[in-house]
Amino acid sequence: MEIRKLGHASLLVKDVDRSRHFYGQVLGMQEVPHPSNMNVPDAWLRKESAEIHLIGEAEPGRAAQVQPGYRQEETCAKMDPISGVARHQFTDLNQLAVCFQLGTFTCGVQNWGFFEPHWWRNHLHVHSFFEICYAYTGRGTFRIQGQDYQVQAGEVFVAKPGERHEIISSQDDPLGIYYWSYTLFPSAKSSDEFVSIDTITKAFLTSQQAVSTRMPTMLQTLELLTEEVARKEPGYLQAIEGLVFKLILDTARAVIDVPLLSVPLDPPAKCPEEIVVQVMLRYLRDNYSRQLSIGDLAAQVNLSERHAGRLFQNVTGTSIKEYLTSLRIEKAIQLLLDGRTPIKEIALATGYPDVRYFTTLFRQRVGLPPASFRRNGGTRFLSDH
């Protein structure tokens, strides 16, 4: 295992055979049925080295059957007509753990993959991260939050954390997609140099648009990523860093009204109350891993506990306790998704010395206990589909 530092990003070169999960897919050299206790898609996936093959539909516990007319070797042979690189090599990006600074947010990429244009469906589910799909061919239905969108080649569709969604490929004109997923967490204090990026990112976080055709160059970016990771020529890690940054930024641009945000913005004037609360927020971010009291926080700004709590609530719209709990759970999610740290150590690292209390609280907030959350890669499938 090798860690490489590249500017604002860290790329961890991982073992090719390391397992990762997406929609119940199995990575490795074997075929196994979906877990019987999860309502996951009725499809099996196999990964050999860095290749993912859609084997076909199967009932849990039964062998998968290859669909008529589908030849497995055709999946491996399909090439980008321009670069001559096989499309399945896009999944080689899973060998790199990419994390970088996006303005005042930390972006951690969770997964890369694609589906070939054969009939498939992933049933209703939710994620704890952002999941983006780009259709490179065919048609299908993107169902999200109870609303259906008919999607086709050239469109990007977005599912945010907690949004119930599924994708159903057309049988007449099967859908082929690239997909990628990532987390976004606030991690730095505001700065004038980040105003433009943060404006776009925050607009993305609140956007209600789920489908867009606004990014005509996105396919080129995906193909360039595939080419870089496949060829591994000198400087390829730096090239991937820049392309991933562009991909995440273009994803946000696709579902917001960019012209309205393109006008340069003056840094917002801060009143004295906001400045005080910024000090409190910074203290919480720097010290969330240890036991904290409101008295500790109030002492940082020379206020009484009651005054500090009221001021924090007025400026942020939430209580100190609620903010701190949310911050700790977000950090726990990052640790669960990004590594193999024991859950007891994650509890301690996020300010909870009692692992049982941490497990109960995490389940209340996220919907799954920490161990299940990690095992499912942050995905929770739903029973009503």
- In angstroms, the CA 268 to CA 140 distance is 43
Q: Which residue has the higher pLDDT, 322 or 31?
A: 322
What pLDDT score was predicted for residue 19?
Answer: 33
What pLDDT score was predicted for residue 176?
Answer: 95
Q: Which residue has the higher pLDDT, 182 or 67?
A: 182
What pLDDT score was predicted for residue 77?
Answer: 43
- 135 and 26 within one domain: yes
Supply the range of the domain harboring residue 92: 2-260
Q: Is residue 383 situated within a structural domain?
A: no
Q: Is residue 145 situated within a structural domain?
A: yes
pLDDT, tens digit (0-9, with 9 covering 90-100), for 246-298:
999 999 999 987 655 554 444 454 678 888 888 898 889 889 998 899 998 99
What pLDDT score was predicted for residue 23?
Answer: 32
Q: Is residue 113 situated within a structural domain?
A: yes
The CATH number covering residue 276 comes to 1.10.10.60
- 278 and 220 within one domain: no
Q: Is residue 265 situated within a structural domain?
A: no
- 192 and 283 within one domain: no
- 292 and 247 within one domain: no
What pLDDT score was predicted for residue 239?
Answer: 94
What integer is the mean pLDDT of 232-237?
92
- 276 and 247 within one domain: no
Supply the pTM of this predicted model: 0.58
* Segment among 101-105, 132-136, 190-194, 227-231 with least mean pLDDT: 190-194
What pLDDT score was predicted for residue 85?
Answer: 74
What integer is the mean pLDDT of 146-152?
95
What pLDDT score was predicted for residue 383?
Answer: 57
Q: Is residue 379 situated within a structural domain?
A: no
- 189 and 279 within one domain: no
What pLDDT score was predicted for residue 261?
Answer: 54
What pLDDT score was predicted for residue 73?
Answer: 32
- 276 and 140 within one domain: no
- 130 and 51 within one domain: yes
pLDDT, tens digit (0-9, with 9 covering 90-100), for 310-357:
999 998 899 999 999 999 998 898 888 876 789 999 999 999 999 999
What pLDDT score was predicted for residue 191?
Answer: 66
Q: Which of 239, 260, 281 is the last residue of a domain?
A: 260
The CATH number covering residue 245 comes to 2.60.120.10
Confirm if 291 and 347 have CB atoms less than 8 A apart: no
What integer is the mean pLDDT of 236-242?
92
Residue 22 φ/ψ, nearest 5 degrees: -155, 120
Burial class (CB in 10 A: 0-12, 13-18, 19+), 299: middle
Q: Is residue 267 situated within a structural domain?
A: no
Count up the domains in the chain and report the number: 2
What pLDDT score was predicted for residue 357?
Answer: 95
| Six token digits for residue 159 | 């599912």
Average pLDDT, the chain: 76
* Segment among 39-53, 113-127, 145-159, 193-207 with least mean pLDDT: 39-53
- 184 and 42 within one domain: yes
Q: Is residue 377 situated within a structural domain?
A: no
pLDDT, tens digit (0-9, with 9 covering 90-100), for 180-231:
999 998 876 666 677 888 888 989 999 999 999 888 889 999 999 999 999 9
- 78 and 32 within one domain: yes
- 196 and 288 within one domain: no
Q: Is residue 171 situated within a structural domain?
A: yes
pLDDT score of 35 more than 50: no
- 95 and 49 within one domain: yes
pLDDT score of 245 more than 80: yes
